[in-house]
Structure 1
Amino acid sequence: MATDLRWRRILLKLSGEALTGKGGFGIDPAVTSRIADEIKQVVELGGQVGVVVGGGNFVRGAQIASSGLDRVSGDHMGMLATVMNALALNAALTSRGVPARVLSAIAVPTICDSFTQRAALGHFQAGRVVLFAGGTGNPFFTTDTGAVLRAVEMGCEVVMKGTQVDGVYSADPKTDPTASRFDRLTHREVLARGLSVMDATAIALARDNRIPVSVFSIGEPGAFVAVAAGGGRSTLVTVEDANSG
């Protein structure tokens, strides 16, 4: 039942690295399968799920630019990497009987349909998982910004960002043992403190459209389902602070 979920229409944002497992590069079928299983569980609870996956497991435009290649070309390569990741996740979902569609912001008609808001909303309403590929379709914008943009266009109630840690910290907890974890923040606090949640453009877009961002560990089995249902361990970034109202 949809009432078992905290949010009914969810935009799940994953980094490309989330699909690599322990290999550090490419796509680990076991990891992709587990994530697909969790998406299936949320759908069975009545959720409507859109997914944006980055392409960092294959290529990052900014890194390519730092090595001397044109940044625009690098970003286009990164967009193509997100298409590959979306296709992999789409295959894993389909094999589990979960109807899904890949919609790309860059035209690759022999592989998948191009994104339009109208088509994407139709897929949501038909009960399909929508995999948004190609970022925003423009260079110089991150897939975090693309995820929030799609969430706004789709009327999503939350952006759930799956990371390698269980929330937002004051510093990288993997390198700084004194880093403190936040249970709740506002978009304004994230921007003012320069916290590594999403890039500033993405956070500002979420703030302006009053979309909360829930940050959790995608590496923890079952975390996506638990947090979507209102439990689990995460940091919630909202417009209002915890003491308002």
Structure 2
Amino acid sequence: MGALYLVACQHPPASAPSAGVQPSKTRYHTEHHGDHPTWHATLYVSVDADTAAGKSVWRRHYRFEEINIKRGGKFEGTTLVDRATLATLETDDFHVRARAHFMFEPQRIVGTQDDGKGNVTAVNIPISGFVETGPWNGLDLWVLAQPLQAGYRARVDLIDDFTPGKAPRPFVVSVERIEPVRVPAGEFTAYRVLFDPQDGDQSLRTVYHVRTGGPPLIVRREFIVNPETTATRKRSIGIEELEAVEP
């Protein structure tokens, strides 16, 4: 699945950050293709209202069910997000046999990374300002809470690994247009929301399609995992398309 991603937002969340977020259960068809065998899977995402440590939170859980590649272990994770601010409080991710567990404090991220081979590393990452997590964690909630409309534009900084002191990468987020999009769940009119890197590195360039009618809903997401094949990583593009909104 690649690295875990953090988005350090230079602007505060929308004035009513939970207005576009509501409890939901969604199912997506997902695939990764490139210079490797195509990986197909079903992605289940649930968002529930909950409480944790005296705060009202959104509890977001994702789980991949592999269809054509059986590697053992599990691909899933849970994120707790403050409902009042959309600030991430905690993430817990499993990628095959590896695990990453992080707690978000006002000025740092602390936790552990376990590579599944007996190597556990303590994490202590200084942060500054409002911080959101990546697309398999809390970023979807941030996108749904934004006041999307024609002309929407924001600047965010994105950190693509947990190396302390590594400079954030600059991204511009914008609504490019409103367009129809067809996915397994049907055809929707959607905002095309682009996360465009500004540093020449195309990894994690992401396009969201967010439904315009009714409660906001992510119906499609396409993202670059690795833009090119190197000695250690293969070129890979991920696509997730809505199959169903479940009761």
Q: Provide TM-score, normalisation by structure 1.
A: 0.33
Identify the structure with the greater helix proportion. 1
Q: Which structure features the higher share of strand residues?
A: 2
| TM-score normalized by the length of structure 2 | 0.33
